[in-house]
Chains A and B, each alone.
Chain A
């Protein structure tokens, strides 16, 4: 093993262990996906020629190209996922803002706030 392997593999090993512990605690599927990523990282660092073998099988040629292409695909997917999460989050924030605005409706000049004024908030 070279120096990089001595540094990287223990770090990834700790992350993989923490992921197992997190999964045992809350049983969320995301931990299985992360565990797969850490184990894949350990495998590829331990067996660097595996990427070259896989790249040759896929007709790409070089292992580094395979890693680069995979990174590009995962990044694109990740950005798409984050955009979606952000979109939904912003929509939820708007609902909170709306509830605040409805609760604090203010009558302008010449309009009176009646004692029974109450806004029925939408359920969704």
Chain B
């Protein structure tokens, strides 16, 4: 990444739902990057918004819980309206390592690709349970069959989009199916993309909020519904 890149043009979007206990730590890890941060509180019942407002970030609040996909799109719309040239999506639960940010940004800022996708299987997935690993591998197979994208990690929330890519991609799946939908659109729009190794640290909290096998079935149903009712 060039030394003189304009950090004011980089926006990090964090979708948060009932993350009052963790959002502070997640944001503190990112503040030193000098990039802009927007936290979208997705209708939390706890003090997520209040905690976020005490931090040097922009805070947007959904009055009703609408899902992670909807929150990300809200944050992306906000970042675009503020002139973002690169937009990062970052999970609120502290799973991602902020140290991975520079290498994630580099390909987009150097205009080599339109989208950078983090991959825990190229990097490190610490304390990942066996069932979660199997579920993620099945998701990879599903994505390869439906989009043709040869990816190693399809449900990683750490991504970077160029401004033009963020303008083209429209997340219409409000809930967890957005991860598959983004990949679907990357394939359809033929966006240049690359996977970058990242580290994901699983904690008990993040596992409890993570997806189950039943969620995988629901996501498949949501994707099908999204294709039937445009």
Show the binding face of A for B, using Cβ within 8 Å: 83-84, 87-88, 90-91, 93-94, 97-98, 100-102, 104-111, 119-122, 124
Does any Cβ of A come within 8 Å of B197's Cβ? no
Cross-chain pair count, CB within 8 angstroms: 78
Task: Pick the interface stretch among B66-74, B148-156, B157-165, B186-194.
Answer: B66-74
Does any Cβ of A come within 8 Å of B225's Cβ? yes
Q: How far is the CB of B25 from chain A (nearest CB, A)?
A: 15
Contact partner of B61 among A84, A104, A109, A122, CB < 8 A? A104
Q: Which residues between 162 and 219 of chain B lie within 8 Å of chain A, taking CB atoms?
A: 170, 172, 174
Q: How far is the CB of B10 from chain A (nearest CB, A)?
A: 15
- Give A120 to B55 CA distance when docked, in angstroms: 24
Residues of B within 8 A of A100 (CB): 62-63
Contact partner of A111 among B58, B64, B170, B229, CB < 8 A? B58
CB–CB B73/A98 < 8 A: yes
Which residue of B has the minimal Cβ distance to A80? B228
Contact partner of B60 among A84, A105, A111, CB < 8 A? A105
Does any Cβ of A come within 8 Å of B56's Cβ? yes
CB–CB A84/B229 < 8 A: yes
Residue with the greatest number of chain B CB neighbours at <10 A, chosen from A84, A87, A93, A97: A97
